[in-house]
Amino acid sequence: MEDTNKLLKSLKSLEGPFPKFDPANIPSNPNELFQEWFHTAIKSGVHEPHSMTLSTINRFGHPDARVLILKAMDEDGWYFASGSNSVKGQQLKMNPNVSLTFYWSLIGRQVRIRGTSLRVGKELSEKDFLERGEVGRAIALLGKQSKVLPDSKILEESLIKQIEQVKSNPDTVDPHWCLYKVTASEVEFWQGDRERKHIRLLYRMENDKWIKELLWP
């Protein structure tokens, strides 16, 4: 434990160099700026820039969070996919308020999106499901995500059977599979700085208009 704490003290963060960010020269809506930052992340070699943390609220009003893949984005919002029968799916049914957090350490950038999630139509969810690989579809069709697994052999055996089913019925769609769209009410762009003068730019929706404000680091 002591060794770990020594190690923790020795670790550096936000060393840079980072790309320049000029908050005076930005698009009028956060979706566009997100796209710019996302492209910069890819060009800079950020590993898995489409991994993000989805935070939800559980039935006791406590926060819960896990990493998911950003499946798509457009001028309306950010999209992710999961089983609607999963823990997060049940939480979203009770409380659609969510946040999405991206951190791209290589470029010292964080994006925080706060908003509401909505299930998109059946057709798009089915399309997303059929685009998954065979194993991904088989796992989803088992419908057991986050349930207690008494023995890992059960997973192996059930998966082998389910993959065979997927192979012989490639058009089968998991009725619980769902594509969700997050519509933002606030989006914060955070550019780290090695001198700790981090730039924070908040877009917040007010009367159907995006207001832009700088925040203290």
Q: Give the shortest CB-10-to-ligand FMN separation in angstroms.
A: 27
- Please confirm whether the linkage preceding 23 is cis (ω < 30° from 0): no
When the beta carbons of 87 and 199 are compared against ligand FMN, the nearer one is: 87
When the beta carbons of 54 and 184 are compared against ligand FMN, the nearer one is: 54
Query: Of 173, 69, 166, which Cα lies nearest the Cα of 123?
Result: 173
Q: Would you give the DSSP letter of residue 145?
A: T
Q: Which residues are near ligand FMN by CB under 6 A?
A: 51, 66-69, 80-82, 86-88, 145-146
Tokens of 164: 């065979």
When the beta carbons of 122 and 147 are compared against ligand FMN, the nearer one is: 147
Q: Give the shortest CB-185-to-ligand FMN separation in angstroms.
A: 22
When the beta carbons of 67 and 160 are compared against ligand FMN, the nearer one is: 67
Q: Give the shortest CB-87-to-ligand FMN separation in angstroms.
A: 3
Query: Do 184 and 77 meet the contact criterion of CB atoms below 8 Å apart?
Result: yes
Q: Give the shortest CB-201-to-ligand FMN separation in angstroms.
A: 26
Query: Of 117, 101, 116, 105, which Cα lies nearest the Cα of 189?
Result: 101
When the beta carbons of 103 and 210 are compared against ligand FMN, the nearer one is: 103
Number of CB atoms found within 10 A of residue 167's CB: 10
Angstrom distance (rounded) from CA 172 to CA 134: 11
Q: Give the shortest CB-153-to-ligand FMN separation in angstroms.
A: 21
The helix/strand count (H/E) of the chain reads as: 6, 9
Angstrom distance (rounded) from CA 201 to CA 22: 10
